[in-house]
Amino acid sequence: MKHIQAFVSAALLFGVSQAAKELEFIAEIGTHGHSYFPLQSRFKHMIQTDEPIEDYTYKNITPLGIRQQYLIGQELRRRYVTNLTAGTEIEGYSTPFLNYSYRIQEMFMRTAGNSQSYISANAQMIGLYPPETCNQRLTEWQKKNVRPPLFEGISDEEVEALGDFATKGGFTPFDIFNQYQTEDQMNDYNGLGCKRYSQLRELSHQSEEFETIKNNLTQQYLQYLSDHTSEPIKTYDDALELCQFIYDAWIDGYDFSKFEYDDKLKNVCQKFMESQAYYKLYAHKDLRILKISELSQLLTARLYALVDQEEFQSDKELDAEYKWLLSVHQYQMKFNNFNKIIEFKMFMFLGESWNVKAFLSIVSDQFKFDFISPSSLIILEVYDEESENEQGVKVQKASVKVKYNDELVTLNGRCLGKTECDIFDFIQTLRDQGQILSKNMRDVCGQEISKSDTFEFESPSEILNYLNSY
């Protein structure tokens, strides 16, 4: 019976006899690069600089955010293409995994419906496949005879200056799948996106439970923030806006000369941002389910294809679910060069911090209080490992590991307490945690909350104990 084993990058297994181990699949779930709109903030006067600040009319990615994503791409190339870790006894890196040059059939890239995520994906791909790796070359005949109608008058000298590559300098165009904002179910837009998530989140932030969290923090720290920053901070929302601005501007390297940006200020602001981040997903289980279900469906369809069919064909419910996932999401792949979902070697999902936090919340409790920073990253690797059983027969063994920002994740559910878990148990953990793997997310997200619907929100005690502990 064939199994597949999943590991996260650079994870070591000790005391296991292995005959062969090969990387089969990579999934990346990440946030877009740093972005903000300084000139629209009412705290912009706090930034002290002699240099002009770029006017980001819309909340867009900054040059720093582009650099973050480019560096991620470079590191992915180091690990999976140029293979600089070969020979270092790090398992799974004995041979390059992805092709030296970009192959459209190897990767499926999906971003949230916003410019920050789309540009981040481009920047990351340029790092992963820099111009010098381009293999899109023209023949001599093509260079001299094939011209777009608009530019029939281009000279031979200009053609020669372009070189052999399809683009000057060898820049590679990348296939990145993106949905219009109002149809993007990875986010909570009020159009055709996940209305139910937006409505439920609004209800949770109007609840008595969240008011308890807000009152606890505002009573402790509003006066401190006002005194320390010389700003009229009067409400929880004021404090949250100030702290987000300080965090963004601090990352961008601006000088705050009007006050001292000390560790206590960072800790206080971290509390406000973590309280918001926590209750955006943990106030109600449906918030986590709705936020990550479409992404989970795509990932699960790919993982199912890596498991021996005998594992779940005996279970009619699982078998029907697998066939449904393939039929629905294979249809979506038709917009991505008709490649089969089960043949992609890498999935890349780039979106908002809530996508990363929601996935972490489904598979682990390890990072439930964390504020997700720009360019944070989850990497899941899938390996095929060959070993011998007690009878000396060669078999394929399966297990799963996940890393968040290169930190090994302790899993929950059927993988409770483990950092290594059978891939089938990993899939079942997604299902057991309430993931909607057998319904069209367009239909689920379109089920608006009515006035008669009632919800019981999570007790704030856990987050309050955490916020008051440091």
List the CATH number of the domain containing 379: 3.40.50.1240
pTM of the full structure: 0.86
The pLDDT of residue 224: 93
Do 288 and 389 share a domain, yes or no? yes
Do 53 and 164 share a domain, yes or no? no
The pLDDT of residue 213: 94
- 309 is a domain residue: yes
> Which has more pLDDT, 343 or 350?
350
pLDDT confidence bin for 92, thresholds 50/70/90: low
Q: Do 249 and 242 touch, CB atoms closer than 8 A?
A: no
- Residue 178: name the closest of 129, 241, 116, 136 by CA: 116
Q: What is the DSSP letter of 171?
A: P
What separation in angstroms does the CA of 329 have from each of 438, 441, 443, 454?
11, 11, 15, 33
Domain of residue 406 covers 5-131+174-201+283-445
**Each residue's pLDDT tens digit, 132-149:** 888 888 888 887 777 777
The mean pLDDT value for 350-372 works out to 90
- 452 is a domain residue: no
Do 29 and 78 share a domain, yes or no? yes
**Each residue's pLDDT tens digit, 71-91:** 999 999 988 988 755 544 455
Do 20 and 165 share a domain, yes or no? no
Please say whether the dihedral angle defined by the alpha carbons of residues 444, 322, 404 and 178, taken in this order, is positive or negative.
Answer: negative
The pLDDT of residue 216: 94
Query: What are the DSSP E strand ranges found in 116-205?
Result: 177-178
- 247 is a domain residue: no
**Each residue's pLDDT tens digit, 385-404:** 777 777 778 777 777 889 99
Do 164 and 189 share a domain, yes or no? no
The pLDDT of residue 91: 56
Do 374 and 415 share a domain, yes or no? yes
- 335 is a domain residue: yes
Q: CB atoms < 10 A from the CB of 335, how many?
A: 10
Q: What is the DSSP letter of 44?
A: G
- 111 is a domain residue: yes
CA geometry: angle at 106 spanning 105 and 107, to 5°?
100
The pLDDT of residue 94: 61
- 222 is a domain residue: no
What separation in angstroms does the CA of 127 have from each of 71, 75, 76, 101, 137?
6, 8, 8, 12, 20
> Which has more pLDDT, 113 or 417?
417
In angstroms, the CA 375 to CA 33 distance is: 5
Do 77 and 102 share a domain, yes or no? yes
Lowest mean pLDDT among 177-181, 237-241, 344-348: 177-181
Do 321 and 399 share a domain, yes or no? yes
> Which has more pLDDT, 470 or 42?
42
Q: Do 193 and 184 touch, CB atoms closer than 8 A?
A: yes
In angstroms, the CA 120 to CA 126 distance is: 10
**Each residue's pLDDT tens digit, 209-228:** 999 999 999 999 999 999 98
Total of domains in the chain: 2
